């Protein structure tokens, strides 16, 4: 649950279009490649061609150096390749290009967390929530971070908020159940596990 990390299906395309419109830019001035090229990169990403995606984006950035779409997809592919420092750099550039958007900060927070830079990750998640209080992914990621930092009460509060915003997300309920179990609340944990199963019946 990482914002536009749900790469480029209709939700991503809508997000990218909204960011361009929010900037008051035409597609050309936003310095993004034509939509069909983004779609090709999306297809490659879904096929697991992460290295090929990064290599192609590197070439595209020569022509479109300020393309938030290219940089965002690059960040996601680099994360898949385990190149977290480079992913962080890509997401930082996206966040700078879209200063009023919560999703890039959420993605940046995940990259920071994967690098082990936890304070920076927390700042990103918290700022994303300030910008978009109903961004379930940011609450969920903040919950994971607080869990890893040994702050169970804060983690549980974040998971509960994420669950209220994404009631059909099994992953949220599963992590919340694990947290409740660790906190010695087995009955609530069982209820949360049941909600996870109900959200993902298969």
How high is the pLDDT of residue 3?
A: 44
Helix orientation angle between 118-131 and 102-115, rounded to the nearest 10 degrees: 170
CB 27 within 8 A of CB 161: no
Task: Please name the residue that has the structure tokens 């009955």.
Answer: 187
Smallest CA-to-CA distance from 151 within 181, 119, 179 is with 179
Residues of the chain with pLDDT under 50: 2-10, 23-29
Q: How many Cα atoms occupy the beta-carbon half-sphere of 69 within 13 Å?
A: 28
How high is the pLDDT of residue 21?
A: 53
136-202 — its CATH code? 1.25.40.10
| CA–CA distance, 199 with 174 (Å, rounded to integer) | 10
pTM above 0.85, yes or no: no
For domain 1-132, give its CATH number from 1.25.40.10, 3.30.360.10, 3.40.640.10, 3.40.1160.10.
1.25.40.10
How high is the pLDDT of residue 19?
A: 53
| CA–CA distance, 21 with 56 (Å, rounded to integer) | 26
Q: Do domains 1-132 and 136-202 have the same CATH topology?
A: yes
Helix (H) / strand (E) containing 50: helix 50-63
Q: Give the list of residues 6+ apart from residue 1 with CB closer than 8 angstroms, or none.
A: 136, 137, 140, 141, 162, 166, 169, 171, 172
Task: Please name the residue that has the structure tokens 């919950």.
Answer: 143
How high is the pLDDT of residue 188?
A: 95
How high is the pLDDT of residue 31?
A: 77
CA angle 8, 10, 16 (to 5 degrees): 65
- 46 CB burial (10 A radius; 0-12, 13-18, 19+): exposed
How high is the pLDDT of residue 35?
A: 86
How high is the pLDDT of residue 1?
A: 54
pLDDT in tens, 85-117: 999 999 999 999 998 899 999 999 999 999 999
How high is the pLDDT of residue 10?
A: 47
How high is the pLDDT of residue 9?
A: 47
| CA–CA distance, 102 with 152 (Å, rounded to integer) | 25
Q: Give the list of residues 6+ apart from residue 156 with CB closer than 8 angstroms, or none.
A: 143, 176, 179, 180, 183
Domain layout of the chain by residue ranges: 1-132, 136-202
């Amino acid at each position: 649950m990482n914002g536009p990390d749900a790469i480029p299906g209709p939700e991503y395309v809508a997000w990218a279009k909204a960011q361009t419109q929010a900037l008051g830019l035409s597609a050309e001035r936003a310095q993004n490649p034509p939509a069909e090229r983004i779609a090709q990169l999306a297809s490659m990403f879904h096929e697991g061609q992460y290295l090929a995606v990064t290599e192609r984006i590197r070439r595209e950035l020569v022509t479109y150096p300020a393309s938030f779409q290219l940089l965002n997809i690059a960040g996601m592919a680099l994360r898949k390749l385990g190149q977290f420092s480079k992913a962080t750099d890509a997401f930082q550039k996206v966040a700078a290009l879209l200063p009023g958007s919560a999703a890039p900060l959420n993605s940046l927070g995940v990259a920071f967390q994967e690098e082990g830079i936890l304070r920076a990750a927390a700042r990103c998640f918290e700022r994303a929530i300030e910008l978009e209080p109903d961004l379930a992914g940011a609450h969920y990621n903040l919950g994971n971070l607080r869990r890893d930092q040994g702050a169970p009460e804060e983690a549980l509060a974040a998971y509960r908020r994420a669950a209220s915003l994404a009631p059909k997300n099994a992953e949220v309920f599963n992590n919340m159940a694990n947290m409740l179990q660790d906190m010695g609340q087995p009955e609530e944990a069982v209820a949360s596990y049941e909600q996870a199963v109900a959200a993902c019946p298969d």
